[in-house]
Amino acid sequence: MNGRVSIVAVIVDTLLARVVAGTYRPGGALPAEASLAEDLQVSRLTVREAIKVLVARGVLRSRQGSGTYVVDPDRWTDLAGLLMLERARRDEREVGLALLEARRMLEVGSAGLAAARRTPDQLDAMGRAIGDLRRAHQRDDVEAAARADLDFHDLLIHAAGNPLVVGTYAPLREELMRARLVTSAHPEVRSHAIEQHERILFALRAGSPDAAKAAMRAHMEQTSNDLLSHTPIVPTVPVASGPIEGCDGGPPTCPPDPAPPVLPALPTPRGS
């Protein structure tokens, strides 16, 4: 990532955090480009590029000759924006459980498809991923364990043989890695994952869609229990609702700029 792209990404996150905090309200206009550039101490070009990103993600909407407006969050489809919004409304456990619900809907069905469509090479690759997870567990390498865990699920999703399922799952992966880096710090969670993955692979090798779906369903249930046991409850910052008193004139009565949420750092992706 070069410096300019990095700066744009920071401004994207800053603007998104302000929207989530209610500094810029749904249906309301953003300040003028020049004003934002001065406020954020970046160039107008950087602001313009950041706004284009958020327009493309459906968080903002541009009106020719009128300005840029905040889209109602109920109409958002951008995963990163929705997760930031959910974290402002709910604690980390609740966000994790919501993410797990989405996983359950995708992965249980995918396990059934994979049982009917998997290839010998895919089965071997999933077996290697379990081996990687076991070795990482034995040496207490949390990052490697999280990678191997997600590798297994990636392979299963691809084994389902449906590119639309792969495309639906892909945006979740970064968030899943963040979550797994937290729970994989606990040895018992890693042990559960190894056991559950082995059961899923056994069902896939047997070519039984019903058994594969049952095994994945049990894995999701175990993951839910692990999440509840090992994810701390982090207090939320309430999202503002209604007009913000005194903000027409700016500081000192306006709320301070919210910082983007602090999340565990993602490891550098491993070459495929």
Identify the burial level of 112 via C-beta atoms within 10 angstroms of its C-beta, where 0-12 means exposed, 13-18 middle and 19 or more buried.
buried
Q: Is residue 241 included in any domain, yes or no?
A: no
31 and 159 both lie in a single domain: no
Question: Which DSSP state fits 32?
Answer: P
221 and 145 both lie in a single domain: yes
| Residues in contact with 21: Cβ distance below 8 Å, sequence separation at least 6, in sequence order | 88, 237, 239, 240, 255, 258
Cα separation, 26 vs 30, whole angstroms: 10
Query: pLDDT tens, position by position, for the chain (272 residues)?
Result: 555 568 999 999 999 999 999 999 999 999 999 999 999 999 999 999 999 999 999 999 999 888 999 999 999 988 888 888 888 888 878 888 999 999 999 999 999 999 999 999 999 999 999 999 999 999 999 999 999 999 999 999 999 999 999 999 988 888 889 888 989 999 999 999 999 999 999 999 999 999 999 999 999 999 999 998 887 665 544 444 333 333 333 333 344 444 444 434 444 444 43
Q: Which domain holds residue 35?
A: 3-76
- Domains: count for the chain: 2
52 and 103 both lie in a single domain: no
DSSP SS3 for 69: strand
160 and 196 both lie in a single domain: yes
Are 71 and 26 within 8 A, CB to CB? yes
